[in-house]
Structures are given as C-alpha cells and as structure tokens.
Amino acid sequence: MSGYLTTHVLDTARGMPAKGIRIALYKLDSDRTLIAETITNDDGRTDSPILNAGDFKTGKYELVFSCGDYLEASDQAYGEIKFLDEIPLRFGMNDGSAHYHVPLLLSPYGYSTYRGS
C-alpha cells in the first residue's frame, strides 16, 4: 500500500470548519515545484487527498494555506495588509506507506498544526 497526504482547516476562533480556503502543495527538492492545488469544502477538508497514493513520494513538502480572503470574508481580518494571509507549512514524509494528515488550526492572529491521523 502506498502513502497519501490529507489536510483540513478548522477555524478555532469561530469553532467551525473553514470553507473555501485555497491550498497549494509544493515538492521541495533543488527547486520548489507546485504539484497540487485544492480548496476546502463545507467540512474544511479537501474532497480527496491532496496527494493520493498513486503520486505519493517521500521527501520534503510545503503546504501553503491562503487564509487572508477567508479571514476577511468571515469578518476576522480587514484591510490590504493582514496579520495572517498565506501560511506556509514545511514538513517531511519519510514513510512511503503511511497516511500523513497535516491540519491547520486557524484564528485571526495565530495558527497551529500537528501530524494527525
């Protein structure tokens, strides 16, 4: 069985899933290569793994969560310059058969992440 990568975004300030956040996944080798893009659904998740088993490779990656528009639309951020806009998370995946889940817990002035299951 091959590994895969999933993610989701929870709005911890409002206590609900964060719908409509654009997420980009980059592979980090000698270059930074965009390999997938998606948008969170009503449940704050992606409709399918952001990196499915057929495309999974171990290595270093970066997820970029574009949260500025979401925070503004939910009246949690204002103006042209936001405290949080794009949030990059860099991480490594070294087990070719594992499910990696990298969620984002978001509020207007802070965020956290962890390796979920």
pLDDT of residue 65: 98
pLDDT of residue 78: 84
Question: Minimal CA–CA distance to 7: which of 89, 108, 110?
Answer: 89
Burial class of residue 28, CB neighbours in 10 A (0-12, 13-18, 19+): middle
**pTM for this prediction:** 0.94
Q: Is residue 57 part of a domain?
A: yes
CATH number of the CATH domain containing 18: 2.60.40.180
pLDDT of residue 75: 94
- Please give the residue range of the domain that contains residue 64: 4-108
pLDDT of residue 29: 92
Residues of the chain with pLDDT under 50: 1
Q: Is residue 115 part of a domain?
A: no
Question: Number of structural domains, the chain?
Answer: 1
CA distance 28 to 43: 28
Q: Is residue 17 part of a domain?
A: yes
Q: Is residue 117 part of a domain?
A: no
Q: Is residue 67 part of a domain?
A: yes
Q: What is the pLDDT of residues 62-79, one digit of tens each?
A: 999 999 999 999 999 888
Q: Residue 111 phi/psi, 5° resolution?
A: -155, 165
pLDDT of residue 34: 98
The alpha carbon torsion through 108, 21, 92, 30 (nearest 10 deg) reads -110
Q: Is residue 75 part of a domain?
A: yes
Strand partners, 100: 5
CA distance 10 to 14: 9
